[in-house]
């Protein structure tokens, strides 16, 4: 079963980290990523740009495009993982491990269905990061 691990944290806190602190957190997360990749459990994982870069499309008639994130909350969706797990307990275990590597905030764990099996073109992946 595929699960999305949605990463929530205070954007103000995360984007105020020094480059050194951010690199340390990313190194700690990378250790978890490597283990999951070797096990064939890690799918796409992404860090979103700040909500100041977000645009929202309200599905009204007519559709309304506004600047900013979907919801105003203390914590923002900062990224996500897609992991392939046997069950919810395994997905929770991975989220706990990621939480040790990057404390604070929350992970929302949600089962997902894959409805677009096509891969992104390699050049779009290179442009993203």
pLDDT score recorded for residue 59: 78
**What pLDDT is recorded for position 114?**
67
The whole-number pLDDT of residue 61 equals 85
Residue at 125 is within a domain: no
Q: What is the pLDDT of residue 92?
A: 95
Q: How far apart are CA 45 and CA 78, in angstroms?
A: 11
CATH code assigned at 16 = 3.30.70.1060
Q: Give this prediction's pTM.
A: 0.77
Number of domains in the chain: 1
β-strand 64-67 against 55-58: which pairing, if any?
A: antiparallel
In-domain check, residue 89: yes
Residue 77 domain boundaries: 2-114
Q: What pLDDT, on the 0 to 100 scale, is given for residue 128? A: 47
Q: Which residues pair with 66 in a beta bridge?
A: 56
- Which segments in the chain show pLDDT lower than 50? 124-125, 128-129
Length of the chain: 129
- Give domain status of residue 126, yes or no: no
């Amino acid at each position: 079963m595929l699960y999305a691990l949605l990463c929530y944290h205070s954007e103000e806190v995360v984007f105020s980290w020094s480059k050194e602190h951010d690199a340390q957190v990313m190194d700690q997360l990378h250790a978890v990523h490597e283990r999951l990749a070797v096990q064939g459990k890690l799918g796409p994982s992404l860090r979103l740009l700040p909500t100041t870069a977000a645009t929202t499309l309200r599905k009204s008639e007519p559709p309304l495009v506004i600047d900013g994130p979907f919801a105003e909350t203390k914590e923002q969706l900062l990224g996500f993982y897609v992991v392939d797990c046997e069950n919810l307990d395994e997905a929770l275990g991975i989220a706990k491990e990621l939480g040790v590597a990057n404390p604070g905030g929350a992970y929302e764990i949600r089962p997902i269905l894959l409805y677009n099996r096509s891969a992104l073109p390699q050049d779009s992946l290179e442009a993203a990061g």
